Amino acid sequence: MIENRPWLTVFAHAVLILGIAVIAFPLWVTFVASTLTLDEIISVPMPLVPGSHLWENYAQALTSGTEAGAAAPVGRMMLNSLVMALAIATGKIAISIIASFAIVYFRFPLRNFFFWMIFITLMLPVEVRIIPTFKVVSDLGMIDSYVGLTLPLIASATATFLFRQFFLTVPDELAEAARIDGAGPLRFFWDVLLPLSKTSMAALFVIQFIYGWNQYLWPLLITTQENMYTAVIGIKRMITSGDALTEWNLVMATAMLAMLPPVAVVVLMQRWFVRGLVETEK
Amino acid sequence: MAQVIFRGVRKSFGNAPVIHGFDMDVRDGEFVVIVGPSGCGKSTLLRMVAGLEAISDGEIAIGERVVNRLEPKDRDIAMVFQNYALYPHMNVEGNMAYGLKIRGLPQAEIDARVARAAQILELSPLLKRKPRELSGGQRQRVAMGRAIVRKPAVFLFDEPLSNLDAKLRVQMRAELQDLHRRLQTTSLYVTHDQVEAMTLAQRMVVMNGGRAEQIGAPLEVYKKPASTFVAGFIGSPPMNLIPAGKDGREVLLGVRPEHLQPCAEGEAKMTVNVDLVEPLGSDTLVYGHTGDNGDGARVAVRLHQSFAAQTGRLPVRFDPAHEHLFDKATGLRIED
């Protein structure tokens, strides 16, 4: 700020604090609820200081699930989510980096056509093609399997585009130097391009891990058995409809647990993530 | 070590011809500089030797082998690029060793060659550094090291010094000469800088518009330029070309700025109306024109003493031995 006026500083901080409060308050309520008993939660008003049942609630959620709603333990759901998010993130990176390599470094007929075909699919969200995709996956007998859960989400125009843009910034001379050194296309890809793409891959991994973890509609359609539920679906299934009482303390504990892995990925990979987005190492 | 032979080499991109037939025998161990303005096809020619561009017609032989259809790695060449093209994620040692590793040399041999090259190029303390931690001159040296360790039959240099500042360029030029003296490897060197060409070359090729205008030793090219293009390209400032008539033929009379001497009005061969004076310390450049009504030829004079007057008339003479005649229509030298 060029002007140094105290009230401006106060005002700016007030806005920031308000913003944080708006975002953080629901999280706080979720955390508090996950430490109370069900009776304490449904009393009005609900207490806003943590209770004493944190350990019990989390243990019950992780190992046995709710009694009234879905009975699958959250531990299993977290594992499913983890498998799905990892498979989607690594699958997307692997497929799209190879696709970009082909598009940037090889001359083949209709090269641009193929690139634009990939690019156009950027505009189609999963939901638009969800019914035909479901039909295909169910005909292939992949309902309730990890393959069915992840494979249709792996193709990624965004990642392909990102890697293409990155490869275009790699000087041609590098490929030529490698050719003179005797490195074939795959050797060049493996020894030169992959190491140079490390930071981009890390950034993409963070984005795609969270994308995979947070998938809702697709797992909802493709999983019918409780032992294949992902954490996000699990939360939804725990909330009972009808007469049975929803065990909000367990639901909230599950929600907190479901938040942890994406947070962990962001925190642990933060440094790489930022470097991948801002730095080009050439 | 090997000779490089060009036989009617042509190159076109689509329908656009870039090289219109190039013939030359580069002798074993010779240092040849290909010089010309940008777009004259000099880099394309070099890249055809490297195998990075296909040869449209004719053939190139390295040693006894015609290499037209060989992959770059099988041609026994090494290339140094203008932007160095070092692998950014490998350290200096890794960059130099990479090609040897791919060729499957034993590790001990690789280590020995890298150490030797590092010693020659004074890179030994830098072996563990990444390219981004090096200065421009050091990167240039690593690029050369990567070429040296391969012990190729031919070195190819594509404007290797043009990314360096002026002082470093002079220093690296000397190092290159020293290196060639030591290794005696056949070298093809592309540049647009005529000073580099004059100082480095044993023979030089002056290219223009996809043709070799002249091939010869630097001083021979300087003393007997084959065309007005060569006359204008080699030497700085370029040779003065003054329209004249001789034996009823329209010619251009060429005299280099350094061969014009100031003299008394009486014995002057021409008089220069001075427009601009550039004192360089060791000598002075005087730019002007002939004729009184501004339609004369532009003339530059290099004086070895300071020239005080800013404008005015400067009568000059020259030794007829330093006179060059070119046909006005074709630009070609008229032999005397």
Q: What pLDDT, in 10s, does the model give residues A178-231?
A: 999 999 999 999 999 999 998 889 889 999 999 999 988 899 888 888 888 888
How many residues appear in chain A?
282
What number is the average pLDDT over the span B256-279? 87
Beta-ladder partners of B272:
B314
3-state secondary structure A17-65: HHHHHHHHHHHHHHHHHCCCCHHHHHCCCCCCCCCCCHHHHHHHHHHCC
Q: Residue B309: what pLDDT?
A: 58
- Please say if the pLDDT value at position B336 is more than 80: no
Q: What is the CA radius of gyration of chain B?
A: 24
Q: In what order do the strands lie in the sheet with B249-255?
A: B240-246, B249-255, B324-327
Answer whether A102's CB lies under 8 Å from A168's CB.
Answer: no
Instruction: Give domain A34-280's CATH superfamily.
Output: MetI-like (1.10.3720.10)
What number is the average pLDDT over the span B212-223? 94
Contacts of B83 in chain A (CB under 8 A): 171, 173
Which is higher by pLDDT, B306 or B41? B41
- Please say if the pLDDT value at position A71 is more than 70: no
Angstrom distance (rounded) from CA B191 to CA B197: 7
Q: In whole angstroms, how far apart are CA A26 and each of A46, A258, B153?
A: 13, 15, 72
Q: How confident is the model at residue B7 (pLDDT cuts 50, 70, 90)?
A: very high
Sorted by sequence, the CB contacts under 8 Å of residue B321 that are 6+ apart come out as none
Which helix (H) or strand (E) element contains residue A98? helix A74-105
Contacts of A192 in chain B (CB under 8 A): 87, 89
Contacts of A191 in chain B (CB under 8 A): 87, 98
Closest approach of A175 to chain B, Cα-based (Å): 9
Angstrom distance (rounded) from CA A167 to CA B330: 47
Angstrom distance (rounded) from CA B51 to CA B74: 9
Q: Residue B231: what pLDDT?
A: 93
Mean pLDDT of chain A: 86
Judged by CB atoms closer than 8 Å, whether chains meet at B103 and A182 is answered as yes
Q: Residue A41: what pLDDT?
A: 82
**Tokens 């999963």 correspond to what residue?**
A126
Q: Residue B154: what pLDDT?
A: 95
Angstrom distance (rounded) from CA B61 to CA B51: 12
The two beta strands, B31-35 and B186-191, are parallel
Cβ of residue A194 closer than 8 Å to a chain B Cβ: no
- Please say if the pLDDT value at position A1 is more than 60: no
What number is the average pLDDT over the span B44-69? 93
Q: Residue B294: what pLDDT?
A: 64
Q: How confident is the model at residue A243 (pLDDT cuts 50, 70, 90)?
A: low
- Please say if the pLDDT value at position B320 is more than 50: yes
The two three-digit tokens of residue A222, written as one number: 């493709």
State pLDDT tens for residues A75-87: 888 899 999 999 9
Taken in order B67, B69, B73, B74, the sign of the CA dihedral is: negative
Stretch among A165-174, A188-197, B268-277 having the lowest mean pLDDT: B268-277
Q: Residue A280: what pLDDT?
A: 52
Answer whether B243's CB lies under 8 Å from B250's CB.
Answer: yes
Degrees to nearest 5, angle at CA B272 with B271 and B277: 150
Closest approach of A194 to chain B, Cα-based (Å): 10
Most confident of B108-117, B159-168, B263-272: B108-117
- Please say if the pLDDT value at position B228 is more than 70: yes
Cβ of residue A129 closer than 8 Å to a chain B Cβ: no
State pLDDT tens for residues B13-26: 988 999 999 999 99
State pLDDT tens for residues A55-68: 888 888 888 776 65
The domain limits of chain A are 34-280
Answer whether A187's CB lies under 8 Å from A105's CB.
Answer: no
Q: Residue A282: what pLDDT?
A: 42
Which is higher by pLDDT, A190 or B311? A190
Judged by CB atoms closer than 8 Å, whether chains meet at B89 and A192 is answered as yes
- Minimal-distance CA residue of chain A relative to B103: A182
- Please say if the pLDDT value at position B218 is more than 90: yes
Q: Residue B244: what pLDDT?
A: 85
Give, rounded to a whole angstrom, the gap between the first and last alpha carbons of chain B. 39
State pLDDT tens for residues A7-54: 888 999 999 999 999 999 999 999 998 888 888 888 878 888 888 888
